[in-house]
Amino acid sequence: MHEGRRVAELLRGQPPRTAARARRASGLALASTVVVALAGCNLGPRYHRPDIAPPASWVTAGEPNAPEWPSTDWWRGFQSAQLNDFIAQAEHANDDLHAAIARVHQADAQRRIAGAPLLPSLALGATASRARAPVISIGNSPVQRFATGNDFNPLLSASYELDFWGKNRAALTSATASAKASRYDRTTVELGVLAGVAGTYFQALELRDRLAIADANLDNATKILHGLRLEEHAGIATALDVAQQETVVATVNATIPPLRQQLRQSLDALAILLGSTPQAVDVSQGTLDELGQPPVRPGLPSELLTRRPDVASAEAQLMAANANIAAARAAFFPSISLTATGGFESAELAGLLTPANHVWSIGAGLTQPIFQGGALVGQYQLAKGRYEELLADYHKAIISALANVEDSLIALQQTTELVQRQQQATLTAQRAYEFAQRQMRAGTINILTLLNTETSLFSARDALAQAKYAHLQALVSLYQSLGGGWQLAGEPL
């Protein structure tokens, strides 16, 4: 309105040339108003988060006195300096994490590319030519004449596509959501790597403990065998007693090579997670009993959606697909582009940049797709199909996250009880073995009873080490399923 009033005032009482300029200004003002109005059009569907109601509470309750969500440095609760060092090394050298960071950089570059059409493009060019051409003759003269001339032409050109239907803005929105998804994916990879380091380290400690138990069992069984052989020479024990104990010794001895193999393989797996060679990684100290037992308890299931980076990534990809639908729909409508060039043109290099040699042009173009062989329809259907696929993926990500927490909670609860029961079983087996040894010396039981209690003790010790490892793995799994202390926040882009 103000622009129209100003143009009307200019039209009154102005010279014809000035009035013509005013009319052109009025036309430009009207065109600008139309551009602003149409530029606000958005043909795409507005994104709404799918309504997937989480349960009100967990099936399995956590520890009552534990904090509701883990901290971002959850691994420090195990009170292991070596684990802390391994985690720090993995954060700096893990190859999967480096690849995820590189994918973030790629997504940022794609976002920059997608945002470029929203800005005008400028190009500077300059040409210089010298040509010889025939001169058009006037009259009946048969003489062929030629003229030689120069042409110098520096030009600055600009172009801009008016985003009437929001196609370019939708493409930028999609690229922005994809960039956010790449950041969430990086966090998911990092969480998996750190959980893998902790779990593999605990496995190495478990195998070292089991090897120590096997060596102690072998040493104890060998001592008993030596005593039975002495008793056989004295005529107290029989050859069958010695043979039975030899079987125990051989059985225990056979359990050692597989444990050594598994230990070496776990160290190799740890080296891969640390981004190091197998020769550079070793776990030569520490036991499972020296580790801390950090308490952990989940918050409300409804809060889990903002605590899991994989769920956030699934939603970001869904938002990107929604924006792609808008871009595909806008492709059906005409595209309008503005172009302008300005510069100088002269046959002489001297005086090229004088006002007399100034040249310029402006233009506008409209392109309306009419027949594309079904490509635009196919692209639109493809975008809608992709959205439906990612909607199913998002739903699965949510229910999988809830199931992960439930699995980890029940595993933690049951492995806690398992460790307690296995500790009791080991104590009982130890007492039974000590009773059997005393009664064997007193001659009130035979060697078979001693062998049975001995085998039960060996098995109980080994099972206890495995139960402790299973409990630690359940703790790590719960930390991971709860998002490892991560929380959804605005990602700077």
- The whole-angstrom separation of Cα 419 and Cα 473 is 13
Q: Dihedral through CA 61, CA 64, CA 68, CA 73, nearest 10? A: -110
Amino acid at site 469: Y
Amino acid at site 28: L
pLDDT of 371 reads: 87
- The whole-angstrom separation of Cα 450 and Cα 434 is 9
pLDDT of 73 reads: 94
Q: Model pTM?
A: 0.82
- The whole-angstrom separation of Cα 417 and Cα 405 is 18
DSSP state of 281: -
Q: Where are the domains of the chain?
A: 1-39, 46-119+166-333+374-481, 120-162+334-367
Pick the CATH number of 120-162+334-367 from 1.10.8.80, 2.60.40.1120, 2.20.200.10, 2.60.40.1250: 2.20.200.10
- The whole-angstrom separation of Cα 66 and Cα 77 is 12
How far, rounded to the nearest angstrom, does the alpha carbon of residue 118 sit from its chain's CA centroid? 29
CA atoms within 13 A on the CB side of 83: 28
- The whole-angstrom separation of Cα 473 and Cα 18 is 84
Hey, do 46-119+166-333+374-481 and 120-162+334-367 end up sharing a CATH topology, with the first three levels equal?
Answer: no
Let me know: does 111 contact 173? Beta carbons within 8 Å. no
Q: Kindly report the backbone phi and psi dihedral angles of residue 70, in degrees, each rounded to the nearest multiple of 5, phi listed first.
A: -70, 160
Residue at token pair 């199931």: 403
pLDDT of 490 reads: 59
Residue at token pair 């006002």: 355
In the numeric block, which tokens belong to residue 172?
């930028």
Q: Output the CA torsion sign for 69, 71, 75, 81.
A: negative
Q: CA 480, 486, 487: angle at the middle one, nearest 5?
A: 135
In a structure prediction context, what are the per-residue pLDDT tens digits for the chain, which is 493 residues long? Answer: 343 343 333 334 344 444 444 444 444 443 444 444 444 455 667 888 888 888 888 888 766 767 788 999 999 999 999 999 999 999 999 999 999 999 999 999 999 999 999 999 999 999 988 888 887 766 665 566 778 888 888 999 999 999 989 999 999 999 999 999 999 999 999 999 999 999 999 999 999 999 999 999 999 889 889 988 988 898 888 898 899 889 989 999 999 999 999 999 999 999 999 999 999 999 988 899 999 989 888 888 989 989 999 999 999 999 999 999 999 999 999 999 999 999 888 878 777 888 888 888 999 999 999 888 899 999 999 999 999 999 999 999 999 999 999 999 999 999 999 999 999 999 999 999 999 888 888 878 777 788 888 889 999 999 999 999 999 999 999 999 999 999 987 555 6
Strands 146-162 and 335-344: antiparallel
Q: Kindly report the backbone phi and psi dihedral angles of residue 129, in degrees, each rounded to the nearest multiple of 5, phi listed first.
A: -145, 155
- The whole-angstrom separation of Cα 180 and Cα 174 is 10
DSSP characters over 54-82: PPSS-SS---TTS-SS--TTGGGGG--HH
Q: CA 344, 336, 19: angle at the middle one, nearest 5?
A: 60
CB neighbour class for 162 (10 Å; exposed up to 12, middle 13-18, buried from 19): middle
Let me know: does 427 contact 464? Beta carbons within 8 Å. no
Q: Output the CA torsion sign for 434, 440, 442, 445.
A: positive
Burial 338-355 (b: 16+ CB within 10 A, else e): bebbebbebeeeeeeeee
Write the class of the CATH domain 46-119+166-333+374-481. Answer: mainly alpha
CA distances from 291 to 66, 146, 163, 194 (A): 18, 97, 61, 17
Amino acid at site 434: E
pLDDT of 447 reads: 76
CA atoms within 13 A on the CB side of 169: 12
Q: Kindly report the number of other CB atoms within 10 A of residue 273's CB atom.
A: 27
pLDDT of 441 reads: 80
Burial 193-204 (b: 16+ CB within 10 A, else e): bbbbbbbbbbbb
- The whole-angstrom separation of Cα 96 and Cα 193 is 8
pLDDT of 211 reads: 95
In the numeric block, which tokens belong to residue 306?
């903002």
In the numeric block, which tokens belong to residue 257?
């090579």
